[in-house]
Amino acid sequence: MAYKRQFYPGNSVPAKNRRRYLDPKVKLKQLRDVSMDDVVRIMGHRNPGEDYKSIHPPIEEGKEPECPIRKLVVPIEGAKHGDRVRYIQFADSVYFAPISPYQRAWMYLSRYRGVDTGTLSGRQIIEVRERDLEVMAKEMIDNETFDPALTGIRGATVHGHSCRLDENGLMFDGWQRYVWDDEKKEVVYVKDQVAIPLDRKISVGKPSPLSDLRKRTTIFRADGVDMRDDKEVTMYGLRIHKLRTLGGYQPWKVKGE
Amino acid sequence: MSSPIKPTAEYAEKPLPEVQILTNRLLSADSTERVLNALDVIPNIRQINMTGESLPKTINNGPGKGHANNHTERKIIHVGNQEVELRYLVGGFYIEMDVESEEELDARLEEIKAACDATIEHGYTLQVGRYLKYKPTLHDYRSA
């Protein structure tokens, strides 16, 4: 049966954005260009220019066991070279951040191969082989899912996604990894993702105005687009809830649903 | 039967009204200083408590554990002729009013509102009530 992949129901702005972010055929807009060296510095796993540390010899050298699945799956670059698995973690503010952790998980799994991701209330970690991670991290910092003020790159102590913003409109960070540059009106990283001071400041650009963020967000909010105003999304949620409940308690009633 | 433990501090015997001010944005240290100095000159204020988000002195976990945090907003501010060490990014004030009548409270409220309007840029909500404990309760008599 011919099957066309579907992503998310609904016609409201957040629903449409969710579809866009999830669909790997959609190329996301690039809003800024943070250099690869700076991305590596912010992540803090290695120094720019340093060799990748490996945990096993390149796959081509080693003797892989006879396995049909190994023959079937094309390894990603990092796996080919035997790189370590490293991570980047983003925290997304509830105040109309471009994306929220749960949609990040959907997006990562929909767009990338060879990743392991974990969702928490305010943050989303992604674990990949190092050299692939760097490419993905740069994409995610440069594209429209990132906002300098409302998205934080935080490896530990991520507290702040549900706090009030500060006077410059930045999401709260107890470790102050990024500060507001009042002259340039930009957000500047002064510490890496685990709050070890950086040698030099790294600018990630100007925050977007709220009017723009409201058009880009995937977050349903009572003071933005209420999820209940999007009938299809509400019905989809209710249907899943109903099927799960029936499946758990009266599975014979699922028939015909 | 009288209780064997007496509360450590003699406190107000009646619940004095408190003014709760929650700001729409978390305030920087300089803004907090301005707000407190504007409130400081208003009479009949018994005490001001503040709440907000904690700013640790050192990085408390992860690979950077032990490094100084050096948060620019964690510093000493000057209120009146007192020094106050800020350890929070302040987002709320609880002002206990030592007033005798409703009229006096209303007059002070107007002054507090004027002080906040002049110093809090991004707005705030203000309510009058009683938010902090003013007499011992069961919790204060529990055994350790």
- Asked if B63 and B11 touch (Cβ cutoff 8 Å), the reply is no
Q: Do B67 and A196 touch (CB under 8 A)?
A: yes
pLDDT at B9: 46
CA distances from B78 to A231, B30, B31, B33 (A): 54, 10, 12, 7
Within a domain: residue B48? yes
Q: Do B62 and A166 touch (CB under 8 A)?
A: no
Reading the block at residue B84, the tokens are 């106050």
Q: Which residue range(s) make up the domain with B39?
A: 20-56+66-92+105-141
- pLDDT tens, N- to C-terminus, chain B (144 residues): 455 555 444 555 667 899 999 999 999 999 999 999 999 999 999 999 999 999 999 999 999 999 999 999 999 999 999 999 999 999 999 999 988 889 999 999 999 999 999 999 999 999 999 898 877 788 888 776
| Interface membership of A226 toward B (CB under 8 Å) | no
List CB contacts (< 8 A) between A155 and chain B.
62
Q: Do B62 and A195 touch (CB under 8 A)?
A: yes
The predicted-structure confidence for A111-134, as pLDDT tens digits, reads as follows 999 999 999 888 999 999 999 999
**Other Cβ atoms closer than 10 A to A165:** 18
pLDDT at B4: 55
Within a domain: residue B86? yes
pLDDT at A139: 96
Within a domain: residue B7? no
* ipTM summary value: 0.87
Within a domain: residue B117? yes
Burial of B82 (0-12, 13-18, 19+ CB in 10 A): exposed
**Other Cβ atoms closer than 10 A to A38:** 20
List CB contacts (< 8 A) between A197 and chain B.
67, 70
Reading the block at residue B107, the tokens are 């007059």
pLDDT at A68: 93
DSSP structural state of residue A252:
G
Within a domain: residue B27? yes
Distance, in Å, from the CA atom of A231 to the CA atom of A214, rounded to the nearest integer, reads 20
Distance, in Å, from the CA atom of A134 to the CA atom of A122, rounded to the nearest integer, reads 22
Within a domain: residue B13? no
Q: Do B63 and A176 touch (CB under 8 A)?
A: no
pLDDT at A256: 84
| Interface membership of A180 toward B (CB under 8 Å) | no
Longest dimension (CA), chain A: 66
**pLDDT (mean) for A162-170:** 95
Nearest-CA distance B13 → chain A (Å): 35
Helix (H) or strand (E) holding B95: strand B88-97
**pLDDT value at A191 more than 80:** yes
Which among B12, B97, B110, B94 is positioned nearest to B46, based on CA atoms?
B97
| Interface membership of A166 toward B (CB under 8 Å) | yes
Q: Do B26 and A165 touch (CB under 8 A)?
A: yes
- Asked if B21 and B95 touch (Cβ cutoff 8 Å), the reply is yes
Which among B103, B94, B101 is positioned nearest to B130, based on CA atoms?
B94
The predicted-structure confidence for A24-74, as pLDDT tens digits, reads as follows 999 999 999 999 999 999 999 999 999 999 988 888 887 788 899 988 999
Within a domain: residue B28? yes
CA torsion, points A157, B32, B111, B113, in degrees to nearest 10? -40
| Interface membership of A194 toward B (CB under 8 Å) | yes
Amino acid making up residue A138:
K
The predicted-structure confidence for A194-212, as pLDDT tens digits, reads as follows 999 999 999 999 999 999 9
**pLDDT (mean) for A3-29:** 95
CA distances from B141 to B2, B30, B79 (A): 12, 40, 36
Picking from A44, A163, A175, the nearest residue to B59 by CB comes out as A175
**pLDDT (mean) for A184-192:** 96
Picking from A44, A164, A174, the nearest residue to B54 by CB comes out as A174
Within a domain: residue B6? no
The predicted-structure confidence for B34-69, as pLDDT tens digits, reads as follows 999 999 999 999 999 999 999 999 999 999 999 999
Using alpha carbons only, give the angle B124, B127, B133 rounded to the nearest 5 degrees: 120
Using alpha carbons only, give the angle A106, A109, A114 rounded to the nearest 5 degrees: 160
Q: Do A174 and B70 touch (CB under 8 A)?
A: no
pLDDT at A203: 96
**Percent of chain A whose predicted confidence (pLDDT) is above 70:** 100
Tokens 């006879």, located at residue: A66
- Asked if B54 and B126 touch (Cβ cutoff 8 Å), the reply is no
Helix (H) or strand (E) holding A88: strand A85-92
**pLDDT (mean) for A85-107:** 95
Question: Based on C-alpha coordinates, what's the Rg of chain B?
Answer: 18
- Asked if A187 and A203 touch (Cβ cutoff 8 Å), the reply is yes
Q: Exposure pattern of A39-64 as b/e (b: 16+ CB <10 Å)?
A: bbbbbbbbeeeeebeeeeeeeeeeee
List CB contacts of B31: < 8 A, sequence separation 6 or more.
Answer: A167, B119, B120, B121
Which among B48, B31, B17 is positioned nearest to B116, based on CA atoms?
B31
If one counts the domains in chain B, the total is 1
